[in-house]
Structure 1
Amino acid sequence: MGCCASKEASLGGKVAKWRTTGIIGLRDSNLKALPTIVLELGAAVRTLDATSNKLVKIPAEIECLVSLQRLMLAENLLESIPSTIGLLQSLKVLTLDGNKLLSIPQEVGLLVRLERLSLSGNFLSSLPDTIGSLRNLVLLDVSHNQLKHLPASLGSCFALEEVVGNANMIEELPATLCNLARLKSLILDGNKLVKLPVHLFRDCKSLQTLSLHATPITIEQLQEMDDYALFEARRRKKIDKRIDTNVLMNAGYFDEGVDRK
């Protein structure tokens, strides 16, 4: 019996539970490929967690999991994502951190119910323009990649509350970022940014956290921007709220978000 066959045989006792709960947990299972039984369960699967394995490929047949809401494949060896990922119309969470991805297919824009997209720690040099179709996206984490820019279409992700893009090579942000009225947190440490969109503080009315450490931007630049005072008031209100509710504070909460030159 081959290695893969023996692994699938050992899963026999779990399949009934998977079918009943819709939750497939395969973390740290030393898998090089998804067991075929996972795909055969089809519409019964709502969560698939295969974090920390040795997966080198997601089969195109992943499209069979039409009820899948959470797909977690972080810490594997994936170099690409099949275009059929776009057929997972129920997907709300997609986690692909710590792989070897060079690109993301345009079809990711078809995931209209997606709320959380995490791509940290890959080798991405760009994001597909279709990302702007993700109108329910709340969190986007693209930190620790090789991005030089964020797509202008990101400004159409009107539900976005948090963008994490630290440790890239981003030189400039699209002006359309100002469309994100619900954006609360923008983390861009360790990039090549020299300026921000002019009306960021005016139009991003919910922005409370801005982190730009290890970038050329100075606190003086921020203070000269339109409506910086409004942003600062929101930031301090967040800090005061934490203090009022006796939440344990650390020095980071009082951080201005940029390095003092």
Structure 2
Amino acid sequence: MGCCTSKNVDSEAGRVARWRSTGIVALRDSKLKAFPDEVLDLESSVRTLDLTRNKLVEVPVEISKLINLQRLILAENIIERLPMNLGKLQSLKVMILDGNRVSALPDELGQLVKLERLSISGNSLIGLPETIGSLRNLVLLNVSNNKIKHLPESIGCCFSLEEIQANENSIEELPSSVCNLVHLKSLCLDNNSVKQIPPNLLKECKSLQNISLHGNPISMEYFQQMDGFQEFEGRRKRKFDKQIDSNVMIGSKGLDEGVDL
């Protein structure tokens, strides 16, 4: 028994030493119900933390000790809320919370000014905080499969946004500020209740190549009458021509992925 105990201690010490040297903590499918203290004790050493597919109910306030954390992956747990001091993770670039039970994001989300990718699909969100507009480096926003009724006007201040995925929600219309997103390439709003989009969207969003609106009460004729439709069509066709020239496989939607209704 003494030998086994010694080996377990050595194994644990070795694991912590590896985490400290690599900065990567990966504990997927480990049946965890709480954040391990030995991980939180590593503090500034942790850069990536992946606790996918565990049984975590909450994120502890002590997570703020991980001041150099860049990637936080907590998908497929049973987390219901996030701590307000989450905003102290000033180095965070990627946060993935897909498949949890989060119903609201704290206002402090806006303090994560380096955040580039935020994915929180398959939760219970009914909205997003106005402070999301402070995320000027955000490139991807995925809030699909929630209960969101509208996107905040401040989203137009996320100037780096290239992709918005908001499928399977209850969105009826988009804020006019979306027209400010000059780098936006893809807008996916399948299975919502969208009746109209800002009239200048196609004209102002000069990088837009893909709009997907399956399962919404809106028609192709609506788009064809919008200012900038022909320019938009040109961009999305060039995108697919380039993919074909590069021998990139195209899915079953094929060349209809421009305005996909």
Whether TM-score is above 0.5 comes out as yes
- Cα displacement (A) at 1:127: 0.4
Q: C-alpha deviations, 1:167-197, integer Å up to 9, x for none?
A: 0000010000000000000000000000010
Instruction: Give the Å deviation of 1:253.
Output: 2.7
Amino acid across the alignment from 1:71? L
Q: Deviations over 1:87-107 (max 9, x none)?
A: 000000000000000100000
Deviations 1:181-215 (A, max 9, x none): 00000000000000010100011000001100000
Name 1:240's counterpart in structure 2.
241
- Give the number of aligned pairs: 252
> Does the 8 A contact of 1:168 with 1:190 survive in 2?
yes
Q: Quick one: which amino acid aligns to residue 242 of structure 1?
A: Q
Q: What secondary structure does 1:251 align onto?
A: coil
Report the counterpart of residue 3 of structure 1 in structure 2: none
Distance in 2, matches of 1:51 and 1:187, equals 25
Whether the 8 Å contact between 1:123 and 1:145 is mirrored in structure 2 is: yes
Measure the CA separation in 2 of the matches of 1:11 and 1:194.
57
Counterpart amino acid of 2:148? L
Moved over 2 A (4+): 8-13, 256-259
1:77-130 CA-to-partner distances (Å, cap 9, x unmatched) read: 000000111000000000000000010000000000000000100000010000
The 1:211/1:200 distance shift into structure 2, 3 A limit, reads: same
5 Å matches for 1:207-222?
207-222=208-223
* Matched-pair contact (CA < 8 Å) for 1:218–1:258: no
The CA deviation string for residues 26-79 of structure 1, in whole angstroms up to 9 with x for no partner, is 111110001001110000000000011000011001000000000000000000
1:204 partner letter? C
What's 1:257 paired with? 259
**Aligned residues with identical type, % of pairs:** 56
Cα contact 1:147–1:168 (8 A) shared by 2: yes
- Gaps of at least 5 residues in structure 1 are 1-7
**245-254 vs 203-212, which moves further:** 245-254
Structure 2 match to 1:130:
131
**DSSP 3-state at the match of 1:230:** helix
Q: What's the offset of the Cα at 1:245?
A: 1.1
SS of 2:253's partner is helix
Quick one: structure 1 residues 237 and 145, their matched pair in 2 at CA, closer, same or farther if it must change by over 3 Å?
same
How far off is 1:248 after superposition? 1.8
Alpha-carbon RMSD across the aligned residues, in angstroms, is 1.2
Instruction: Specify the alignment match of 1:5 in structure 2.
Output: none
1:11/1:102 CA distance change after superposition, 3 Å: farther
After superposition, the C-alpha distances for 1:202-237 in whole angstroms (9 at most, x for unaligned) are 110000011000001111101011111111110101
Q: Look up the match of 1:35.
A: 36
Give the counterpart letter for 1:73 in structure 2. L
Structure 2 unpaired stretches of 5+: 1-7
Please state if 1:102 is matched with 2:103: yes
SS at structure 1 position matched to 2:211: strand
Shift of 1:251: 2.9
